[in-house]
Amino acid sequence: MIKKNRKVNTLIKEVKLKNEFQRAGIKRVNKEAIKYFVESVEKNVCKNINDLSRELIIKGKKTLEKKDIKEYFKKLKEENSWEV
């Protein structure tokens, strides 16, 4: 569950995201669409962080390393469980 007080999207600015959409060929973007997109990304980021945390606990590790992230995304890609 995502806490409403915590903001994950500090790195995702609306203007930068709008510029990325325009670079991809989308000329106009509704503010509601951007807000929904950011919320979806936040949910996926929080889910990934929680899953990585669980895997570290299972492995008995305290430090997250690059190889742990690669293994996690490889496993996630095999499961095809990307949800919007």
Half-sphere CA count of 21, side-chain side, radius 13 A: 17
Q: How sure is the predictor about 41, in pLDDT bands with cuts at 50, 70 and 90?
A: confident
Q: Is residue 54 part of a domain?
A: yes
Q: Which two tokens stand for residue 35?
A: 């807000």
Number of domains comprising the chain:
1
Alpha carbon distance 72, 39 (integer Å): 22
Q: Is residue 43 part of a domain?
A: yes
Q: Find the mean pLDDT for residues 12-25.
A: 86
Q: Is residue 70 part of a domain?
A: yes
Q: Is residue 22 part of a domain?
A: yes
Q: Is residue 50 part of a domain?
A: yes
Nearest-CA neighbor of 61 among 46, 47, 73, 71?
Answer: 71
**CB–CB of 52/69 below 8 Å?**
yes
Question: Domain range for residue 40?
Answer: 14-79
- Kindly report the average pLDDT of the chain as a whole number: 83
Q: Is residue 59 part of a domain?
A: yes
Q: Is residue 1 part of a domain?
A: no
Q: Is residue 58 part of a domain?
A: yes
Query: Can you give the pTM of this predicted structure?
Result: 0.67
